[in-house]
Amino acid sequence: MKLNVPAIAAEQAQTRQQLLEAAGEVFAERGFRSATVREICQRAGANIAAVNYHFGDKEKLYLEVFRYSQQKELERFPQLRKSADLPPEKQLHAFISALLQRIFNKGDASWHGLLMLREMTEPTAALDFIVAEKIRPMSEHLWEIIAELLGCRVEDDRVPRCSFSVVSQCVFYCHSRAVVERLHPDQTFDQKSLDELAEHITKFSLAGLKPFRAVKK
């Protein structure tokens, strides 16, 4: 009968996780303000008071959702690592592919990107967390690839600008998805399309970088 303690702990953890998942969905769908604690609890199959019990209040739950999202993403997509043995062109293609995969990541975690998008429009404390834990590491990885392609140091002024030119082409399909779908209703985002898209962005970017190359290294 001593076993019931871990059982209870597990049950509590389960309720907590269900709340986090439900909150992720609802916050992504409706935004922080429009999301109601009631709906979150209903979707999580929990009582109306569950949010306050487990997280204190709606705002703390919101922050916790981002922490949870980041943790889940780390589990699903082990950190992109610079593989020094690959040529930088291949590394760029790998980076672009991976970023698109994350963005169009379907399934039970599809709200992660939407939440981030909402933070862009109306930043809260959560954005600082995202930038520090997720965006900056990815960004620095890209800088190294770009610097190598340009034949310059990572600190060079051209690096961030060119990085933005690359990244922007990827996140565009996340941020402007609603517009893209209206302009090209037949556009899909299945795995095949994603591969083609990665191909296109890599090709465009590698060529785009050329005029910025250092004359001499």
Binding test (CB under 7 A) with DNA, winner from 57, 108, 128, 196: 57
Picked from DNA, a second copy, none, the partner binding residue 195 (CB below 5 to 8 A depending on kind) is: none
Q: Which of residues 20-39 bind DNA (CB under 7 A)?
A: 35-38
CA separation for the pair 162, 208 (Å, rounded): 9
Q: Which of 20, 22, 28, 46 binds DNA (CB under 7 A)?
A: 46
How many angstroms separate the CA atoms of 2 and 4, rounded?
5
Q: Least distance from C-beta 48 to DNA, angstroms?
A: 5
Q: Does 42 bind DNA (CB under 7 A)?
A: no
Rounded Cα–Cα distance for residues 69 and 62 (Å): 11
The verdict on 212 binding a second copy (CB under 8 A) reads yes
Q: Is 132 exposed, middle or buried (0-12, 13-18, 19+ CB in 10 A)?
A: exposed
Q: What is the token pair recorded at 41? A: 């609890």
Cα(153)–Cα(148) distance, integer angstroms: 8
Subset of residues 115 to 154 that bind a second copy, contact rule: CB under 8 A: 117-123, 127-128, 131, 135-136, 139
Query: In this structure, are residues 100 and 202 in contact, taking their beta carbons and an 8 Å threshold?
Result: no
Count of beta carbons in the 10 Å neighbourhood of residue 148: 17
User: Smallest distance, Å, CB 15 to DNA?
Assistant: 3
CB of 58 to DNA, least distance (A): 3
Confirm or reject binding of residue 70 to DNA (CB under 7 A). no
Q: What are the CA-CA distances from residue 189 to residues 43, 62, 198 (Å)? A: 28, 29, 12
Among the listed residues 39, 54, 70, 172, the single contact to a second copy using CB under 8 A? 172
Within 20-49, the residues that bind a second copy by CB under 8 A are 30-31, 33-34
Q: What is the DSSP letter of 133?
A: I
Q: How far apart are CA 98 and CA 83, in angstroms?
A: 14
- In the complex, the residues that contact DNA under the rule CB under 7 A are 4, 7-8, 11-12, 15-16, 35-38, 46-54, 56-59
- In the complex, the residues that contact a second copy under the rule CB under 8 A are 30-31, 33-34, 114, 117-123, 127-128, 131, 135-136, 139, 160-162, 164-165, 167-169, 171-173, 175-180, 182-184, 197, 200-201, 203-205, 207-212
